[in-house]
Amino acid sequence: DAGITQSPRHKVTETGTPVTLRCHQTENHRYMYWYRQDPGHGLRLIHYSYGVKDTDKGEVSDGYSVSRSKTEDFLLTLESATSSQTSVYFCAISENPQETQYFGPGTRLLVL
């Protein structure tokens, strides 16, 4: 998985609780991404980062926030989880935005 880890790998939580997912890379790549994958929708970009403290929104950013205080870590936070945020979340990294993205192992999140 190109030196990318995600934690936790599985999580069950209740509606209304905050949840933070972590992506950690050892490749020193500048760009990091958060996607969600749902049946019938494929992979959709939530947020991405182009450097420390530099982030921007993706296609489905409502209800999510991100932070990047170090090159190697990119955090995704669901401030108040909803059942519609039940999904598989993938982190990805790339050296530049036109090049290949490499994916982490994913986090399965179930919001009850």
Shortest reach from residue 21's CB to another protein, in Å: 14
Q: By rule CB under 8 A, what string of x and - marks binding of each residue 4-43 to another protein?
A: -----------------------------x------xxxx
> Is the backbone peptide bond immediately before 8 cis, with ω within 30 degrees of 0?
yes
Contact 18, 78 (CB under 8 A): yes
Widest pairwise Cα distance in the chain: 38
Instruction: Work out whether 63 is an interface residue with another protein (CB under 8 A).
Output: no
Q: What is the CA radius of gyration of the chain?
A: 13
Contact residues for another protein, defined by CB under 8 A: 1, 33, 40-45, 48, 58, 90, 97-106
